[in-house]
Amino acid sequence: MSLEKILLKINQWGAGAILVAPILMSSKFIFPFVQLKNIYFRGLILILLVTLIWYILESGRLAGKKNYVLYGFILFGLSATIASIAGVNFANSWRGNFERMDGLFHWWLLIVYFVLLINVFRRMKDWLWLFRVSLLTAAALSLVGFFGHGWLIHDNEWSRIGNSAFLGLYMLWNLVFGILAWLNDESKGWRYFYIFSLVFNMLVLLGAASRAPIVGLALGVLTAVVLTWRGSAKKYKIIIGSLAMAVVILGGASWVYRDAGVVKKINFLNRLTHISRQDATTNSRLLVWQSSWQSFKERPILGYGPNNFAYGLNKYYNPKVGEQWFDRAHNFIFDYANTIGLVGLISYLAICAAAFYNIYLIRKEQRIKAAVMAGSLVAYLTTLLFVFDTINTWLPALVFFGFVSSVGGRDKDDRLKFSVPDWSYYPLLAGAIIVTIFGLYGGVVKPARANLLMAKAYQYSVDDYQKSLNYYQQALAEATMGEREIVLQENRYALEAIRDEKFDLKAKKTIFEQAEKDSLALLQKEPHELQVRMVLAQTYLTYAPLNSFYTGEVTSLLQNNLGDSVKRVEMYFMLAQAKALQGDNEGTIEWLEKAYAACNEVDSVYENLMLLYARVKNQEKLDQTAQEYINKFANLSAEQYRKVGQYYFQVGELDKSEEILRERAIPRDPDSWRSYVSLASIYEQKKEYARAVEYLEGVLAEHPNWPSDVQKTVSDYRDELASREP
pLDDT of 182 above 60: yes
Q: With contact defined as beta carbons under 8 Å apart, do 604 and 643 qualify?
A: no
- Spatial separation of the C-alpha atoms in residues 613 and 589, rounded to whole Å: 8
Q: What is the pLDDT, as a whole number, of residue 409?
A: 46
* Percent with pLDDT over 70 in the chain: 92
| Residue 52 three-state SS | helix
Instruction: State the SS3 of 488-549.
Output: HHHHHHHHHHHHCCCCCHHHHHHHHHHHHHHHHHHHHHCCCCHHHHHHHHHHHHHHCCCCCH
H-only helix segments in 664-706? 666-668, 673-685, 689-702
Lowest mean pLDDT among 431-440, 466-475, 520-529, 670-679: 670-679
pLDDT of 87 above 50: yes
What one-character-per-residue DSSP string does 213-252 give? HHHHHHHHHHHHHHHHHTT--HHHHHHHHHHHHHHHHHHH
According to DSSP, the β-strands at 61-63 and 415-417 are: antiparallel
Q: Which CATH number fits domain 482-591: 3.90.1640.10, 1.25.40.10, 1.10.10.10, 1.20.1600.10?
A: 1.25.40.10
Confidence band (pLDDT; 50, 70, 90) for 373?
Answer: very high
Per the prediction, the chain carries an average pLDDT of 90
pLDDT of 687 above 90: no
Task: Quick: pLDDT tens for 293-324.
Answer: 999 999 999 999 999 999 999 999 988 886 77
pLDDT of 245 above 70: no
Q: What is the pLDDT, as a whole number, of residue 694?
A: 82
pLDDT of 688 above 60: yes
Confidence band (pLDDT; 50, 70, 90) for 262?
Answer: low
Q: What is the pLDDT, as a whole number, of residue 209?
A: 83
Domain residue extents for the chain: 3-419, 482-591, 670-726
Q: What is the pLDDT, as a whole number, of residue 41?
A: 98
Q: With contact defined as beta carbons under 8 Å apart, do 288 and 329 qualify?
A: yes
Beta-bridged to residue 63, according to DSSP, are 415
Q: What is the pLDDT, as a whole number, of residue 681?
A: 87
The stretch 234-261 carries a mean pLDDT of 60
* Percent with pLDDT over 90 in the chain: 70
Lowest mean pLDDT among 27-36, 146-155, 157-166, 229-238: 229-238
Q: What is the pLDDT, as a whole number, of residue 275?
A: 63
Say which residue, 443 or 688, is predicted with more confidence. 443
Task: Quick: pLDDT tens for 566-583.
Answer: 999 999 999 999 999 999
The stretch 339-346 carries a mean pLDDT of 97
Q: What is the pLDDT, as a whole number, of residue 233?
A: 65
pTM for the full predicted model? 0.90
Beta carbons within 8 Å of 132's beta carbon, 6+ residues apart? 181, 190, 193
pLDDT of 247 above 90: no
The stretch 210-239 carries a mean pLDDT of 81
| Residue 464 three-state SS | coil
Q: With contact defined as beta carbons under 8 Å apart, do 714 and 677 qualify?
A: yes
Lowest mean pLDDT among 68-82, 200-214, 424-438: 200-214
Q: What is the pLDDT, as a whole number, of residue 284?
A: 84
